[in-house]
Amino acid sequence: MIIKTIRTLSCIIWLSSCSQPVVDMDEISDNIGLEAMEAPVLAKEVAEGRLPPVNERLPEKPLVAKHEYAGFEQAGVYGGTWHNFHSGTDLGAWKMIGAYAPLIRWNWACTDLEPGLAESWSFNEDGTELTLKLRRGVRWSDGEPYTSEAFAFWYELCLDDRHRYAPPVWSRVDGEPMTVETPDAYTIVMKFPGPNWLVPLWLATGFWWCEEYNIPKHFMRRYHPDYSPNHDDFVAFEKKNISHRNADRPSLWPWHITKIEKGGFRIHLQRNPYYYVVDDHGRQLPYIDKIVTSLVTESQVRVLKVLAGDVDCQFRDIDLRDLSLFMEGREQGDYHIKMWKSAAGAEPAVNLNWSDNDPVLRTLIRNQKFRKALALGIDREKCNAIAYRGLLKPQAATVSEEAWHFIDKEGAALFQLWKNTDAEFNIEKGNRLLDEIGLSGRDDDGYRLRPDGQRLSIVLDTPASAIIVQENDIGLILAEGWEAMGIEIVIFTPPGAELKLRRDLGEFTIHLHGEAEMDLFTYPDWVFPTSPRYWHPKVGKWYESGGEKGEEPTGVMKELLDIYDQIKQEKDLQKRHKLVQEAVKLHIDKGPFHLGTVGRKPMPVIIKNYFHNVPDEGILGPWAIVAPGISFPEQYYMDAR
């Protein structure tokens, strides 16, 4: 009935939208025009004296966009408006496309780093001092110079306890924060109390770090109480510094926000006239003039927008369950589909709280046989068939198979062992393990009894089906398997905010969360208990707070953290990869600490037939590597055909 309704409604939308093409043909050049070094709309402003010439807007040595991927066609034409949608007002999905402006960048293959806002970087011999040389002549979207002052201003905020900003985890060594020096406008020097070899990776990771450390001081100082007599606290400062809520805040993005409608219901962006990246011919990017992204929270409405041809290119918020509908609608909607991948090791992972508030459950969860019994009770084939129509792979919980830690032959073999360990479905074997650890007693209803004589009952936190239907389906399958082993399962589906709060505070026993990660050096949490989330909320809090909060690690938790501390101090990259592999061996030998269901989800990317230069394949699951941002989406273009 739902599919029939979608098809009917989509036909109505098709008919109503056929005379309203998404692309404004007048906006787009009718040839490649390699002689044009900037967009016509900017050239017009230059001619009218409202904008400096392009050579004065670009840095001395612009960053040249790379396109080392299948799917790149040619240098593009200027113009057009890119329409897509977002599912949250924080614009997280869009920032993965058009907000990657870091000092140092991940390359497309996710195997190395390359220059960004910084032309170069270097450590001293013992890894205690990192020097970055900035690209001379970069400007904010309002034309003001971007210099080392931006980074210094941010770090001064981090050391000021009058507001929420704090020194980031990567700036500390043994609990002591770094110092920052800016000997000139284009040099940043970070000094650490000890070796800190991972910092370049941290600077490149995610859109969130560059968004934090790139603050336009010339604009934000007007809201800073030390610079402005109009403010005596940081309330206005913190509000105005949120990029996706303040269209006035200058940006380094390829497109900067110009209008925010109805609290984020629709966001308008337009090309940054001072953007510091060019194509192979030295032509300023981006090619596309404008972006319009609309908030669409309902999955069925997203389907309708795609089928109606209202979306030019969409990377996320596309439900795999609707793939057949999208395939059927390609000709009418004038689009094609490229299949990227989530690179997820679990969709979702089953996180067991290592530090459960109930001391009996805590003891059980720390018993390896109990965790293995729970793993044996998961019918992964059923999870795949019901939640994902058989399109995924049953496996144990892992990070991304493509992660650069597992590229060598030994690493690849280890990863295969990891994803196959504790991935068996065997209720009988699971029951035997539970009997072996003393849980053989049963109550009148057939449920097992805990060591204290109470019924063995576990609360399983899952999203409601209206929020994430696949996780809700899998939650029901988990409950079915564990109930068959004599464990009472209480499925709890609180509102999204409460669900997140329970996870963040460690108030859960078991919760579900998608697992995918390409770099465990800077996003170690799935393997190393370094932050208060996933399967180690209290041990992670202890590590993150330098021992001031949370629960001190013992046993295997301490072993894992000791390995991570070695990684941070190790200069040699290959030795660091080997240390990650040693940690994975601990997960295999002493785990599982979180359980697998299914993984390797395909992720459809919707692309209009007039939209070009999108990679044929890529990875969208792990956010730390910022895909598709690392493909330089500013070189995507639209033609008028």
Confidence of residue 378 (pLDDT cuts 50, 70, 90): very high
Residue 299 has pLDDT above 50, yes or no: yes
Which residues on adjacent β-strands are paired with residue 83? 292
Confidence of residue 67 (pLDDT cuts 50, 70, 90): very high
The answer to whether residues 443 and 569 belong to one domain is yes
The predicted pLDDT at position 8 comes to 40
What residue has token string 């639209």? Answer: 638
Concatenated DSSP letters of 568-592: HH---HHHHHHHHHHHHHHHHHH--
Mean pLDDT, rounded, for 617-640 = 94
**Cα 26 to Cα 19: distance, rounded to the nearest angstrom:** 16
The predicted pLDDT at position 5 comes to 39
The answer to whether residues 124 and 65 belong to one domain is no
Residue type, 275: Y
Are residues 175 and 167 in contact, defined by beta-carbon separation less than 8 angstroms?
A: no
98 belongs to a structural domain? no
**Cα 165 to Cα 550: distance, rounded to the nearest angstrom:** 21
92 belongs to a structural domain? no
CATH number, domain with residue 305: 3.40.190.10
**Cα 33 to Cα 75: distance, rounded to the nearest angstrom:** 9
Mean pLDDT, rounded, for 265-273 = 95
CATH number, domain with residue 574: 3.10.105.10
Which residues on adjacent β-strands are paired with residue 284? 278
CATH number, domain with residue 167: 3.90.76.10
Confidence of residue 24 (pLDDT cuts 50, 70, 90): very low
Range of the domain at 192: 104-223
Q: In what order do the strands lie in the sheet with 81-86?
A: 81-86, 290-295, 266-271, 255-261
542 belongs to a structural domain? yes
Confidence of residue 33 (pLDDT cuts 50, 70, 90): low
Concatenated DSSP letters of 467-524: T-HHHHHHHHHHHHHHHTTT-EEEEE---HHHHHHHHHHT--SEEEEEE--S-TTTS-
Confidence of residue 390 (pLDDT cuts 50, 70, 90): very high
250 belongs to a structural domain? no
Residue 564: enclosing H or E segment and its boundaries? helix 555-569
pLDDT above 70 covers what percent of the chain?
Answer: 95
The answer to whether residues 281 and 152 belong to one domain is no
**Cα 151 to Cα 163: distance, rounded to the nearest angstrom:** 17
236 belongs to a structural domain? no
The predicted pLDDT at position 290 comes to 97
Which residues on adjacent β-strands are paired with residue 139? 145
237 belongs to a structural domain? no
Residue 232 has pLDDT above 50, yes or no: yes
The answer to whether residues 579 and 615 belong to one domain is no
The answer to whether residues 433 and 570 belong to one domain is yes
Residue 189 has pLDDT above 80, yes or no: yes
**Three state DSSP letters for 291-357:** EEEEECCCHHHHHHHHHCCCCCEECCCCCHHHHHHHHHCHHHHCEEEEEEECCCCEEEEEEECCCCC
The answer to whether residues 428 and 303 belong to one domain is no
**Cα 593 to Cα 555: distance, rounded to the nearest angstrom:** 13
State how far Cα 299 lies from the chain centre: 20
The answer to whether residues 81 and 127 belong to one domain is no
369 belongs to a structural domain? yes
Residue 194 has pLDDT above 80, yes or no: yes
The answer to whether residues 370 and 513 belong to one domain is yes
Mean pLDDT, rounded, for 302-317 = 93
Residue 17 has pLDDT above 70, yes or no: no
The answer to whether residues 617 and 514 belong to one domain is no
Confidence of residue 527 (pLDDT cuts 50, 70, 90): very high
The answer to whether residues 335 and 355 belong to one domain is no
Q: How far apart are the first and last CA of the chain?
A: 38
Give the chain's domain count.
3
**Rounded to the nearest 5°, which phi and psi values hold at 270?**
-135, 165
The predicted pLDDT at position 381 comes to 98
Mean pLDDT, rounded, for 581-599 = 98
The predicted pLDDT at position 170 comes to 92
The answer to whether residues 150 and 294 belong to one domain is no
Exposed (0-12), middle (13-18) or buried (19+): which is 240, by Cβ within 10 Å? middle
Confidence of residue 640 (pLDDT cuts 50, 70, 90): low
Query: Could you read off the pLDDT of 73-115 as tens digits, one per residue?
Result: 999 999 999 999 998 888 999 999 999 999 999 999 999 999 9
128 belongs to a structural domain? yes
Nearest Cα residue to 489 out of 474, 504, 499 = 474
Residue 472 has pLDDT above 60, yes or no: yes
Confidence of residue 482 (pLDDT cuts 50, 70, 90): very high
The predicted pLDDT at position 300 comes to 87
Mean pLDDT, rounded, for 521-540 = 95
Domain boundary among 169, 204, 223: 223
The predicted pLDDT at position 12 comes to 36
Confidence of residue 263 (pLDDT cuts 50, 70, 90): confident
The answer to whether residues 573 and 625 belong to one domain is no
The predicted pLDDT at position 88 comes to 87
Q: In what order do the strands lie in the sheet with 129-134?
A: 118-123, 129-134, 187-191, 179-184
